[in-house]
Amino acid sequence: MSSERQALARVAGRALSGEGAHIEVRHVFAGLDWKAAGMRPEGAPHSIHQLLNHIVYWHEWALRWAEGKRPTVPRHASGSWPGSVAPRARADWQAAIRRLDRVLQRLERRSRAADLMARRGEKTALEMLQTVGAHASYHAGQAVLVRQILGRWPPPAGPLTW
C-alpha cells in the first residue's frame, strides 16, 4: 500500500472513530446503564439510546453505499431515527452498542481496502466516510452532553474527555 493510500486510510479511520479530535465515538456509550440510556432530560431532544440508534442507522447506510448498493435516503428526517426513546431491557442496549462496534469495524476495514478516491455518484468513498464520521461526531457530542446532564460522565474507562 502506498504512503498516500495509507495516509488517506488513516484520515478516513480517524474521521469515523473521532480519534485525535475527541473521545472515540464507541467510547461515548461505554459503561452507561441501559436505564440511563433511555432518559431524556428536560429540554433534550433525544435520549442517548436514540442518538446511538441514529448514528448506527447512518453508519449502516454508508456501509451499504460503500459496498456498491443503492440505499435510499428516508423521505423525512424522522425515518433515520429508528427505535424507541429507551431500550426495553439491558440486552437491547447492549445489542445497540454491539451494532455500533460492528459497523465501525466494517467501515474501518473498508477504508483500508477501498480505493478512497473512487467516485460513486457525487461523492468519493473518502468524502462519504468523512461525512458519516462528521455526522457521528456531532451526535456523539450530544450524547456526551446528555451524559453530563445526567451525571453519568465520564465513562468508567476514563479516556480523554475534553
Q: φ and ψ at 56, to 5 degrees?
A: -60, -40
Handedness of CA 70, 74, 77, 80 (dihedral sign): negative
End-to-end Cα distance, the chain: 34
Model pLDDT for residues 13-54, shown as the tens digit of each residue? 888 878 777 888 999 999 999 999 999 999 999 999 999 999
CATH number for the segment(s) 3-149:
1.20.120.450
Give the pTM.
0.92
How far is Cα 153 from Cα 131, in angstroms, rounded to an integer? 27
Indicate the domain borders of the chain.
3-149
